Structure 1
Amino acid sequence: MKLTEAQRLQFEQDGYLFFPGHFSAEETRMLTEAVPALYAEREAWNVREKGSDAVRTNFAAHLHSEPFARLARHPRMVGPVMDLFDEQVYMHQFKINGKMAFEGDVWQWHQDYGTWLNDDQMPTERAMNVAIFLDDVSEFNGPLMFIPGSHRKGVINAQHDLTTTSYPLWTIDNALISQLVDRAGGRNGGIVAPKGPAGSMILFHSCLVHASGSNLSPFNRVAVYLSLCAVGNHIRRFKRPEYIAHRDFSPIELLPDDCLLKPYPVDVPWKNGLPESALRTSLEPIEVTA
């Protein structure tokens, strides 16, 4: 999938692109039906909400679930990122975020690159997220919120929040958020929340400041996030376990466009459970070879 010149200019200006209904109901259903079994697993890759059994994040499903292994190679998901970087990409992180009805907690204001830099020593911000909605997203079920254009401020100093939620984030202080929102238009467009049907897709810059509120509605809001990094920009430290920050820097090989509807063969190396090696960490920088 190639982006148009107008889409490239919009991405440069706003830091994100939104594609409503990008995947069909049948394609989306193939993914949605696989989620309950993944969320039921008692493995480290399921991070649950504080004081609740509801899953907040499921990591690395593309390594143990065939439908998500195919999504991880889908040209509609991966192609636009390769197009923007003009370089092959690898999977830095793969998440199925659950903002479950009545129980989905907040995600504080942050930049994804803040975590990738501070925890993983990713050299530059040549990485980004592309996400697909598995549920309809409305103003009621905790939509993702962006501050348009905030990616142009570059990397922002952040604090490591270890207490607010069950998953630690490098978060941005409220005073700076207020300034960024004012600069982006204040009450007139300083915060946007893309909403649309299941199957919609969002692509956004790793420095775009974003957050989401809690889900107090009776409607789930599940989305899949592929964090794709230019191969030459791979991480330099394994501080986080491999099921969170991946260590295979091989370029993603794309499948045909109908890969969610046909059983193309894919490798799922963790189908029998999380290997012990995926839990090992190190604070030592890795050796980079030419």
Structure 2
Amino acid sequence: MKLTPEQLKDFEEQGYIFLPEHFSPEEVAVMRTEAEGIYQSDRKEVWREKSGAPRTAFAAHTYNEVFRLVGAHPRLIEPVEQFFGEKLYMHQYKINAKAAFDGEVWQWHQDYGTWARDDGMPEPRAMNISVFIDEVMPINGPLMLIPRSHKHGTLAAGHDVQTTSYPLWTLDHDTVSKLVDEGGIVAPTGKPGSVLMFHGNLIHGSAGNITPYPRKIVYLTLCAVSNHIRKPTRPEWIAHQDFTPIETVPDDALLTYARSQKLAAE
């Protein structure tokens, strides 16, 4: 799958692209089932809110076949290869949850700030590309983006280890206010299967979820192989140290797997 010249231009200008309903309901259904099973497991890779609700599941592509296929899917890998002009490796993989009623905030931050400070990534030649596996609505904690904020480079940040269960390099209120005055705030929403791709320096965050509607999103952090991390400080299952280029699976791999599992269950 290739981005159009217009999409590439929009990404350069705004710092993100949104692709509605990029995966089919059948493909999303198998992702959702597998994600819910992972959240119920007692794995070290599954981090939880202070309430005990799931917050994020790391490295699912290393122990779950569905998410291995998602992590090598051409609809996700090829646009980022096109943007960076080289092969990619998986720097990080996570399934983030905003649990119904109990999903907590993600503070305002830039992802590359963490990748540089904690992992020794040389340049912001990495980005997140994500798949909605629940409907993301204005009311259930959508990801909020500050358009064009990536053009300001990597900004000073403080290491917040107290607000939530997940430590984060966060931006101060004055910085966020100034950039919102320039670019505003957008919150892409859409049906399950929609895809959001955004620059590693784009400022983003999300509010808590107090609704009955869960919000799960799969995030692939894809990095140009030449830009691999140099000084990792985090566990390998958070910041991967296997820099092998990703080889894509067939476009119908998720459907083939889902249908084979259905036949096996009958």
In structure 2, distance between residues paired with 1:194 and 1:238 = 32
Name the aligned partner's letter for residue 170 of structure 1: W
1:87 match: secondary structure = coil
The aligned runs of 1:41-190 (5 Å cut-off) are 41-50=41-50, 52-184=51-183, 190=184
1:93 match: secondary structure = strand
In structure 1, distance between residues paired with 2:224 and 2:36 = 31
| More displaced stretch, 228-237 vs 31-40 | 31-40
Partner of 2:230: 236
Partner of 1:277: none
1:216-240 CA deviation, whole Å, 9 max, x = no partner?
A: 1100000000000000000011210
Name the aligned partner's letter for residue 263 of structure 1: Y
Count of residue correspondences:
258
Partner of 1:38: 38
In structure 2, distance between residues paired with 1:85 and 1:2 = 13
Name the aligned partner's letter for residue 203 of structure 1: M
In structure 1, distance between residues paired with 2:94 and 2:158 = 23
Runs of 4+ in 1 over 3 A off after TM superposition: none
Name the aligned partner's letter for residue 93 of structure 2: F
| C-alpha RMSD over aligned residues | 0.9
Partner of 2:251: 257
Give the TM-score normalised by structure 1. Answer: 0.88
Q: Is 1:248 aligned to residue 232 of structure 2?
A: no
1:100-132 CA deviation, whole Å, 9 max, x = no partner?
A: 100000000000000000000100000000000
Q: Is 1:202 aligned to residue 196 of structure 2?
A: yes
Partner of 2:212: 218
In structure 2, distance between residues paired with 1:90 and 1:78 = 10
Give the TM-score normalised by structure 2. Answer: 0.96
In structure 2, distance between residues paired with 1:221 and 1:260 = 21
In structure 1, distance between residues paired with 2:71 and 2:117 = 25
Name the aligned partner's letter for residue 193 of structure 1: A
Q: Is 1:29 aligned to residue 24 of structure 2?
A: no
1:46-92 CA deviation, whole Å, 9 max, x = no partner?
A: 11001x12110000000000000000000001110000001000000
The aligned runs of 1:269-280 (5 Å cut-off) are none
Higher helix share goes to which structure? 2
Partner of 1:271: none
Name the aligned partner's letter for residue 228 of structure 2: H
Q: Percent identity?
A: 54
Name the aligned partner's letter for residue 44 of structure 1: K
Partner of 2:262: none
| Per-residue deviation, 1:259 | 1.1
Partner of 2:263: none
Q: Which blocks of at least 5 consecutive residues in structure 1 are unaligned?
A: 185-189, 265-290
